Amino acid sequence: MAKINQNFNKLPGSYLFTKIAKNVAQYQAKNPDDVLIKMGIGDVTRPLAPAVIESMHKAVDEMGTFEGFHGYGPEQGYDFLRSLIVENDYKSRGVNLDIDEVFVSDGAKSDCGNIVDLFDVDNVVAVCDPVYPVYVDTNAMSGRAGDFGADGKWTKLYYMPCLEENGFLPQIPDKKVDMIYLCFPNNPTGMTANKTELKKWVDYARANGSVILFDSAYEAFISDMDVPHSIYEIEGAKEVAIEFRSFSKTAGFTGTRCAYTVVPKELVVEGTSLNAMWLRRQCSKFNGVPYVVQKAAAAVYSEKGKEEVKETIAYYKKNAEVIYNGLKEAGFTVYGGVNSPYVWMKTPDNKGSWEFFDFLLDKANVVTTPGEGFGPSGEGFIRLTAFNTYENTVEAVNRIKKIM
Ligand code: MLT
């Protein structure tokens, strides 16, 4: 008889954003006339940049010719895109990478989840709390998290509470941990870490033989000069860190799917190159991102593409400012929103985050994300995203102000 992976039975409920989508669909079915404004999942709303579309069209046409047709591509991405990434995202910031340290993929979410294939089940995994649920769920699925307790925590994970008291920054563990997930600008709090903070983590990882899994999917939203865009801006980080990046939030690719992961060759664990392991894993399990999509992503680095993408980011950043300032003026305690598309808002009168989520859905018809969905320390907060239209963002803030 076949046996299933019993770790799946340990997972509580459904994936956070699936649960929210279900709750919202149920609410809408009961209240069909309510016009909802969605500020829950971080899904973009602005169309792809014209430069991206032009490049994609051209690639589609090429695919219709004998000369320009592309079948299976390299699993790790075409060199035309990998070299643009190396030049534009890293060299420009003083980080030298070889193109074979860059692996193009269909999403940072998939890569963050798949990377666990490289690690032993007995590794101690440290996660921020609150945290992007993918890191936790995927380690739970592969048996590295233990059991899910009544306190909302997995028994084998090491939680790093990110609270108002510590500026929402994870503190260096007081014990030895093996895999450390860091995400800056942070999802969900929208907070950032400067070079001094990141250096502490690189030093810790070097001293303890740990690997940092650094998610910088939101780096395009950084405007403060002292906030690093990549962990590799910290000396020694290439020996200890893997970095995940995405075109989703940077260039509106949530539906188009393109991202990349950097696995430096200096990253060697137990005498084995993680770069070689990841290549091996990708070649066996992944057939690469479509040529057309990689051509679209390459256009993000053209002069025109850069300008257009910059405008889109500025648009969302303006929305984040509207949310942050509007809610602050209304007397709420808010965080993030400056180098990030996310605003982390404290619920009034210590309301539970699901209770406040329901309240905002019902009374303001605004969809948010309850902080508790990101971990126990997210209780008492909700997350709002800046990815809706400017008009809807202004309207949502006004509606929230009106009902409070
Ligand atoms: C989020 O809302 O946290 C993200 O959009 C989800 C994702 O990127 O997978």
Q: Is the pLDDT of residue 213 over 90?
A: yes
What would you measure as the largest C-alpha separation in the chain, in angstroms?
A: 66
Q: Ligand 1 within 6 A of 187 CB?
A: yes
* Ligand 1 geometric centre to CA of 42 (Å): 5
Distance CA 383, CA 296 (A): 31
CA–CA dist 256, 273 (Å, integer): 31
What average pLDDT score do residues 62-76 get? Answer: 97
The structure tokens listed for 277 are: 């392991």
Q: What pLDDT does residue 14 have? A: 85
First-to-last alpha carbon distance for the chain, in angstroms, is 57
Q: Which pLDDT does position 99 carry in this prediction?
A: 98
Q: Which of 38, 187, 216 to mutate to test the pocket of ligand 1 (most atoms within 8 A of CB)?
A: 187
Q: What is the pLDDT of residue 13?
A: 83
* Closest residue to atom 5 of ligand 1, CA basis: 42
The pLDDT, as a whole number, for residue 172 is 98
Q: In this structure, are residues 287 and 75 in contact, taking their beta carbons and an 8 Å threshold?
A: yes
What pLDDT score was predicted for residue 404?
86
Among 12-21, 51-60, 146-155, 231-240, whose mean pLDDT is lowest? 12-21
User: In angstroms, rounded to a whole number, what is the distance separating the alpha carbons of residues 191 and 173?
Assistant: 19
Q: What is the pLDDT of residue 294?
A: 98
Q: How far apart are CA 109 and CA 345, in angstroms?
A: 24
How large is the average pLDDT for residues 289-305? 98
Q: Is the CB of 38 under 6 A from ligand 1?
A: no
Angle between helices 50-63 and 291-298 (to 10 degrees): 150
Quick check: 127 and 158 in contact, CB under 8 A? yes
Q: What is the pLDDT of residues 321-362, one digit of tens each?
A: 999 999 999 999 999 999 999 999 999 999 999 999 999 999
Domain positions in the chain are: 14-43+304-403, 53-301
14-43+304-403, which class in CATH?
alpha beta
Provide the β-strand partners of residue 336: 343
**DSSP strand pairing (381-385 vs 369-370):** antiparallel
Region 146-171 average pLDDT: 97
Task: Confirm if 267 and 273 have CB atoms less than 8 A apart.
Answer: yes
| Ligand 1 atom closest to 246 (CA) | 8
Architecture of the domain whose range is 53-301? 3-Layer(aba) Sandwich (3.40)
CA 164, 230, 112: angle at the middle one, nearest 5? 80
pLDDT bucket at 186, cuts 50 / 70 / 90: very high
Q: Give residue-wise pLDDT tens across range 256-282.
A: 999 999 999 999 999 999 999 999 999
As a whole number, the mean pLDDT across the chain is: 97
pLDDT tens string 5-31:
999 999 998 888 999 999 999 999 999
Mean pLDDT value of segment 75-84: 98
